[in-house]
């Protein structure tokens, strides 16, 4: 609102109506509603001062284009005073209305604060109604303001602001003003300072990205069975096909890996692994530990834990505690990780081997991995 327009609100000048008209056009709400906001702002500013407990009534005289204020006085307190009648019948009970000079009862700063607050509430309601259908969907926005613990994001071409809390930042790097990103519209509401809460680190955001980039998921042909997630580090997305499919992973990855690459760019630095679902626990475990290669399974004496055998050079990455715990909880089995040399010393009982384990160990001809492992640089 231009400063010269604001100052005229409390003055008895003929351009008051023009101000109301300009505000109505700018805010895209009815002139009647602007008049109500202005009237309430005057009343609120008056009562905030708490200098008088008597009620204040504010009306807009459309003929003179000015706001008039009256203090409500009980008729029995002063029978000699003449009753002021309202042409608009705003006052239903019989009472005395004492005319007041607006400039004397409230100052500009007090009024302006109340007016901005009232206008913000109207905007909030409009925004919440507009954003409500977007809840749970992906929206695009531009970062407008950056603070220590949150960002404000310009949404729908400036129609509203979204709140993006630091707990929903995927990267440790502070976002930059002007950056355009996509977000999950996590929650919309009428109350509160901002009408919509945005997310990028939540599992729901990842699911929505997968639905967008892999249409077969949105169509129900491919099902996300589960997601084992270590936020900002790695997600193991377990998928299965509702109908027979020759190359499930290929369909999800897309031509030249474009589908999963697009998801990976948005989730960066978090790594996204697609894993085919298997009913057999050991088969599923092998796939979940990839790119760490599982050579076999064994049991240690007097222990119920399932021991998996991996290459010595992969042991450090296989022992990542968080991802192991996620796999244990998912498969409901306690896991220990050993190399072939370790279990040979521990008098272990081999249950099952994957490939030529002993032969490979004896030749010590281990192919080096070119994969990026959990949490590695």
Total domains in the chain come to 4
Give the pLDDT score at 175: 95
* Domain end position, chosen among 148, 169, 201: 201
Strand partners, 235: 229, 272
User: Is residue 3's pLDDT more than 70?
Assistant: no
Q: Which residue, 140, 98, 118, 147, is CA-closest to 33?
A: 118
Residue appearing with tokens 């204020």:
69
Q: Is residue 79 part of a domain?
A: yes
Better-scored residue on pLDDT, 113 or 160: 160
**What is the residue whose two structure tokens read 């299965």?**
240
User: Which DSSP string corresponds to 173-215?
Assistant: SPP-TT-EEEEEEEEE-SSSSSSEEEESSSHHHHHHHHHHH-H
pLDDT at 274 > cutoff 80? yes
Residue 77 resides in a domain: yes
Question: How many whole angstroms separate alpha carbon 131 and alpha carbon 133?
Answer: 6
Which domain, by its residues, includes 316?
290-377
Question: What's the pLDDT band for 4 if we cut at 50, 70, 90?
Answer: very low
Quick one: pLDDT at residue 305?
Answer: 85
On whether both 247 and 308 belong to a single domain, the answer is no
Per-residue pLDDT reduced to its tens digit, 7-63: 444 444 446 677 778 777 877 778 887 787 777 777 777 776 655 666 777 778 777
Q: pLDDT value at position 317?
A: 83
Single out the residue in 201, 227, 256 at which a domain terminates. Answer: 201
pLDDT average, residue stretch 130-141: 88
């Amino acid at each position: 609102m231009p400063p010269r327009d604001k100052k005229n609100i409390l003055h008895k000048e003929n351009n008051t109506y023009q101000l109301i008209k300009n505000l109505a056009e700018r805010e895209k709400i009815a002139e009647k509603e602007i008049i109500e906001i202005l009237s309430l702002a005057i009343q609120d500013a008056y009562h905030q001062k708490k200098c008088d407990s008597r009620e204040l009534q504010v009306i807009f005289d459309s003929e003179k284009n000015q706001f008039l204020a009256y203090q409500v006085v009980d008729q029995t307190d002063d029978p000699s005073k003449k009753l002021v009648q309202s042409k608009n019948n705003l006052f239903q009970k019989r009472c005395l209305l004492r005319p007041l000079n607006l400039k004397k009862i409230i100052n500009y700063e007090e009024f302006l604060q109340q007016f901005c607050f009232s206008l913000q509430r109207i905007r909030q309601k409009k925004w919440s109604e507009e954003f409500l259908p977007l809840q749970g969907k992906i929206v695009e926005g531009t970062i407008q303001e950056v603070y220590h613990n949150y960002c404000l994001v310009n949404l729908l071409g400036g129609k509203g602001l979204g709140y993006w809390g630091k707990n929903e930042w995927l990267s440790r790097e502070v976002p930059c003003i002007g950056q355009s990103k996509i977000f999950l519209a996590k929650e919309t509401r009428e109350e509160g300072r901002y009408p919509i809460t945005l997310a990028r680190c939540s599992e729901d955001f990842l699911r929505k990205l997968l639905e967008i980039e892999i249409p077969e998921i949105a169509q129900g042909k491919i099902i996300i069975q589960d997601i084992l997630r270590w936020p900002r580090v790695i997600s193991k997305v377990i998928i299965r096909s509702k109908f027979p499919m020759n190359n499930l992973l290929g369909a999800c990855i897309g031509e030249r890996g474009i589908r999963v690459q697009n998801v990976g760019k948005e989730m960066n630095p978090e790594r996204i692994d697609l894993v085919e679902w298997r009913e057999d626990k050991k088969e599923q475990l092998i796939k979940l530990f990839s790119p760490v290669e599982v050579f076999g399974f064994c049991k240690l004496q007097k222990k119920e834990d399932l021991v998996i055998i991996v290459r010595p050079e992969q042991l450090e990455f296989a022992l990542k505690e968080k991802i192991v715990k996620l796999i244990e909880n998912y498969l409901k089995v306690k896991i220990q990780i050993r190399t072939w040399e370790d279990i040979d010393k521990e008098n272990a009982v081999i249950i099952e081997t994957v490939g030529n384990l002993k032969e490979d160990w004896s030749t010590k001809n281990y192919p080096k991995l070119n994969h990026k492992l959990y949490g590695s640089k």
